[in-house]
Structure formats: C-alpha cells, structure tokens
C-alpha cells in the first residue's frame, strides 16, 4: 500500500506525531485577571480599613470582599452571582447564607485588626469571636454541606410523570426540557444564566418547584434579619472604637436560627414527586 509522502518524510526524519506531543498549558487571560484580583484584594482591604473613617471602614471592607466574590462569579461562571448558584444551576439559599456570614465576619475581623494595628494596640489580631457567632456560622455551614447529602438519594429516582406534566403547565416550560435537565427528581435549569432569585423560594423537586417553599421563606427572613442587624452592630462597634471583640448574637436568636435550619433540611428529606427508583 502506498504511504503518504508527508508521513513518510516525517517518519524518516524522526518527527513526532502531534497526538503524542505533550500539551503545554498556557495561562488564559481570565486566569491572569483572577491572579491580579487575588493579589489586589488584600491591598484594597488594607487601604479601605486604614484610610476610611471608623465605621465606614467596615462598610468599605465588606463591599470590597463582596465585589471580589461578584468578580469571581463573573470570571468563572459568566454571571456576577455565580458564587450563589449550585450545581443544578439554581440560586441556593444555603449558599447565600454562607456568603453572607463569610463577608460579614471576615470583614469585621479584618477591619478591627487593621484598626488595632493603626492604633498601635498590642496583639492586634487577638480579637475575640463570641461562641454564639461560632454556633451561627456552624449552623450555616451544616446547611451548606448537609443539603447535597440529603438530596443525593433523590438523584437516583424518577418523578411521577403526572407531576412532571403539572409542573410543565404551571411553569410554562416544555415537558421535554424539564425531563432532560432534571437530576433524578430534582429540578434543574439548563445553564447558569437561567438562575433566578425566585429559585431561593421554590421547592427543590420537579413535583414542588412550582410552589413556594415556606421553610425557605422562613430561613430567608431569619438570614435577612441576622445579616442586617449584625452588619449594623459591627459598624457601630468599630465606630465606637470597640475593636477587642466581634459583637455577640443573642442565644435566643441562635436557637431560632437552628430551628429554622432544621426545618429547612427536614423539608428537603421528604418525597415531593411521588418518585420511584430509576430503571
């Protein structure tokens, strides 16, 4: 059989087949932007905490941390709210709460630490974090990590076809699209760009995604109240020069937060799609 002259020449001179050549990864422009932003973040936080007036410095620091998360989402996911979107392309309430506590607590700690450095306070990073705050953050982390574990069993089940049809009619969404995008009985969007704020209040499954999930609404209210009140508490503490400890949360509020999260997680455990094991 005749051999291709180009191939014969390549073999003769000992050239490598392109398929056998190792691929060298060249940094993408997006990655370079991320490296720059990651390096710039500490400088921005330092500048805002050092030069902005006490109280407002906390506002500026939390704003810088939040902006970094928005840019991170835009760079990686193509949407500013990408950090709030889960693997089913839906906005996640547990992610919202985890982001909120991360920004508020880290922003408060950084602002107080830099304020203490500026004032020449010994042991500037020796800032007390109250037990109630640890509990609140632990509850939030439990919801974030526990949600995928609770929902994992639903990925191997199939929803009732009648409920899929009902959901299709209620959401004005093609039944075929719902069937293609779903993860077992769990409702999912086709892409990250389809994520909406309404996802925070809807059921997780195909059978109840067209309905308002009251457990999520309750947790959203507690999250909003906790976030706003704690933001004000930290800003007022920094303004008053009380930088030795982050403000505590009341034990009663932590208990209400725990009950809300418990209801949120228990609501996910039930079968809302009359499902059966996948064939």
Per-residue pLDDT of the chain (279 residues; tens, 9 = 90+): 455 544 444 444 444 444 444 444 444 555 676 677 777 777 887 887 788 888 889 999 999 999 989 988 988 888 999 999 999 999 999 999 999 999 999 999 999 999 999 889 899 999 999 999 999 999 999 999 999 999 999 999 999 999 999 999 999 999 999 999 999 999 999 999 999 999 999 999 999 999 999 999 999 999 999 999 999 999 999 999 999 999 999 999 999 899 999 999 999 999 999 988 876
**DSSP 8-state symbol, 157:** E
- Cβ(144)–Cβ(94) under 8 Å? yes
How far is the C-alpha of 165 from the C-alpha of 152, rounded, in Å?
24
Tokens of 116: 């203490």
Q: What pLDDT does 55 receive?
A: 80
Q: What pLDDT does 31 receive?
A: 66
- Cβ(205)–Cβ(186) under 8 Å? yes
Q: What angle do CA 80, 101, 113 make, to 5 degrees?
A: 105
- Cβ(93)–Cβ(197) under 8 Å? no
Tokens of 265: 């997680």
Write down the residue that tokens 């209040």 correspond to.
Answer: 201
């Amino acid at each position: 059989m005749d051999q291709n002259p180009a191939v014969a020449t390549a073999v003769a001179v000992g050239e490598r087949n392109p398929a056998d050549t190792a691929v060298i990864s060249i940094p993408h422009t997006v990655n370079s932007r991320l490296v720059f932003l990651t390096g710039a973040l500490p400088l921005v936080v330092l500048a805002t905490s050092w030069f902005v007036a006490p109280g407002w410095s906390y506002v500026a620091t939390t704003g810088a941390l939040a902006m970094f998360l928005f840019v991170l989402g835009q760079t990686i996911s193509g949407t500013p709210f990408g950090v709030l979107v889960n693997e089913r392309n839906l906005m996640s309430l547990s992610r919202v709460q985890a982001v909120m506590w991360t920004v508020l607590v880290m922003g408060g700690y950084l602002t107080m630490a830099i304020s203490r450095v500026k004032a020449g306070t010994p042991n500037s990073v020796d800032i007390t974090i109250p037990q109630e705050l640890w509990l609140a953050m632990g509850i939030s982390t439990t919801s974030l990590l526990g949600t995928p574990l609770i929902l994992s069993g639903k990925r191997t089940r199939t929803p009732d076809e009648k409920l899929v049809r009902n959901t299709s009619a209620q959401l004005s969404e093609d039944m075929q699209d719902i069937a293609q995008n779903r993860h077992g009985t769990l409702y999912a969007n086709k892409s990250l760009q389809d994520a909406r704020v309404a996802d925070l209040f809807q059921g997780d499954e195909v059978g109840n995604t067209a309905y308002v999930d009251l457990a999520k609404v309750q947790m959203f209210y507690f999250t909003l109240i906790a976030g706003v009140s704690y933001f004000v508490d930290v800003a007022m503490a920094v303004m008053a020069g009380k930088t030795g400890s982050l403000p505590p949360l009341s034990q009663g509020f932590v208990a209400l937060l725990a009950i809300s999260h418990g209801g949120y997680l228990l609501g996910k455990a039930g079968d809302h799609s009359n499902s059966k094991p996948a064939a």
